[in-house]
Amino acid sequence: MLDGKHIILGITGGIAAYKSAMLARLLVKAGAEVQVIMTPAAKEFIAPLTLSTLTGNPVISEFFTANTGEWHSHVDLGLWADAMVIAPATASSIGKMANGIADNMLITTYLSAKAPVFVAPAMDLDMMAHPSTARNLSYLRSYGNHIIEARSGELASHLVGKGRMEEPENIVAYLEVYFSRHNDLTGKHVMITAGPTYEKIDPVRFIGNYSSGKMGYALAEEAAKRGARVTLVSGPVSTSVSHPSISVVRVESAVQMLAAATKAFADADVAILAAAVADYAPAEPSEHKIKREGNEPPEIRLVKNPDIAATLGQLKKDGQHLVGFALETDNEMANAADKLKRKNLDMIVLNSLKDEGAGFGTDTNKITIIDRDGTAVSSSLKSKKEVATDIFDHIIAKF
């Protein structure tokens, strides 16, 4: 599970740092590429030479290498990593992480990291028991970091209590479980539609909507992170993707989106239709810019756009799973359930425009997932990233 994974191993200044050498060794043995970042205090406990030898990579500790002036980009490191493991994490470093005190390379990289972060605290029992440690750890949890709890036992001070860093082999096992759960779409092709469509009135004007594409893009990132090959058929948005397994097909109109989506659906295992497709398009877009001078306001005759979801619902074969979205203002459940049947979907994700923070443009969403058998699961207001995780957890569990 860790084969080929890029892992940043952050080491802070505690006596348990001697165990980090074993952790580095086990991660390398499991196939990971390991980049160690040490805080200045950590170097008092274990020599960088030990870690650079075990990992095959020079240890980073400062913002730049003094004699060459080589700058270490915390942003690049943060993007490179598939996971960041901070072991041991001292009370001081946990406090800095909780509060964004970026006074060394490790904390700066932590603040830039896009990957999941795992924190293995280690400290004396009284420090562990202090309310500030508990509060700072709860902050880290609220940021989505994974805390690998310290154990009880004899400590370096010879006192007995909670504060021993989890054993290196258990930290590796924790990561393996995490990655196995997050590789559940390996070998699958996921197609996602996202964003609005623009329907041309003339060369400079269109009919569109306020969709930002954020939900569809979050779904694409989540699917790719879980190992899928992703085709993201996207209407015009300013959102971008970073994962290399996502290929983006950019389209403008509903007709173009239908063509791209149908093509990608042919070998897709899962398709999620998160795009806000315009229902109507101008029947005869003008080839020239419609002029105001001397003209009456034009009448724009509209024609119906194709329903991409319903078309794919017709084409759907055994083993393919089709998920739609419904953005409703009233009679939400009944309308969504009706859409699910009418379009031959397997699942529909309902977001209500009545819920504050849900729907277009926001970074958050509040959803209800409805299955074919009518069961509905509602969740609280969450980030679109978290919602994407919930949706795929549900898809995996169901299909």
Q: What is the 3-state secondary structure (H, E, C) of the chain?
A: CCCCCEEEEEECCCCCHHHHHHHHHHHHHCCCEEEEEECHHHHHCCCHHHHHHHHCCCCECCCECCCCCCECCHHHHHHHCCEEEEEEECHHHHHHHHHCCCCCHHHHHHHHCCCCEEEEECCCHHHHHCHHHHHHHHHHHHCCCEECCCEEEECCCCCEEEEECCCHHHHHHHHHHHHHHCCCCCCCEEEEEECECCEEEECCEEECCCCCCHHHHHHHHHHHHCCCEEEEEECCCCCCCCCCCEEEEECCCHHHHHHHHHHHHCCCCEEEECCECCCEEECCCCCCCCCCCCCCCCCCCEEECCCHHHHHHHHCCCCCEEEEEEEECCCHHHHHHHHHHHCCCCEEEEEECCCCCCCCCCCEECEEEEECCCCEEECCCEEHHHHHHHHHHHHHHHC
Q: Which of 182, 166, 29, 11 is nearest to 85 (CA)?
A: 11
Position 148 contacts ligand C5P (CB under 6 A):
no
Minimum distance, C-beta of residue 364 to ligand C5P, in the bound complex (Å): 19
**Closer residue to ligand C5P, CB minimum distance, 129 or 353:** 353
Token readout for 119 is 């924190």
Position 308 contacts ligand C5P (CB under 6 A):
yes
Minimum distance, C-beta of residue 20 to ligand C5P, in the bound complex (Å): 48
**Closer residue to ligand C5P, CB minimum distance, 9 or 260:** 260
- Binding marks (x or -) toward ligand C5P, 229..268, rule CB under 6 A? -------------------------x--------------
Residue 335 bears catalytic tag: no
With contacts defined by CB under 6 A, name the span among 49-57, 201-209, 235-243, 302-310 that binds ligand C5P.
Answer: 302-310
With contacts defined by CB under 6 A, name the span among 12-20, 293-301, 307-315, 374-382 that binds ligand C5P.
Answer: 307-315
Position 316 contacts ligand C5P (CB under 6 A):
no
Minimum distance, C-beta of residue 307 to ligand C5P, in the bound complex (Å): 4
Position 32 contacts ligand C5P (CB under 6 A):
no
- Binding marks (x or -) toward ligand C5P, 328..367, rule CB under 6 A? -----------x----------------------------
Residue of 87, 94, 241, 309 interacting with ligand C5P (CB under 6 A): 309
Position 324 contacts ligand C5P (CB under 6 A):
yes
**Closer residue to ligand C5P, CB minimum distance, 55 or 197:** 197
Position 281 contacts ligand C5P (CB under 6 A):
no
**Closer residue to ligand C5P, CB minimum distance, 116 or 195:** 195
Residue of 11, 86, 228, 277 interacting with ligand C5P (CB under 6 A): 277
Token readout for 254 is 């509903």
**Closer residue to ligand C5P, CB minimum distance, 221 or 332:** 332
**Closer residue to ligand C5P, CB minimum distance, 79 or 255:** 255
What positions carry a catalytic annotation?
209
Residues of the shown chain interacting with ligand C5P in the complex, contacts defined by CB under 6 A: 193, 254, 273, 275, 277, 305, 307-309, 324-326, 339
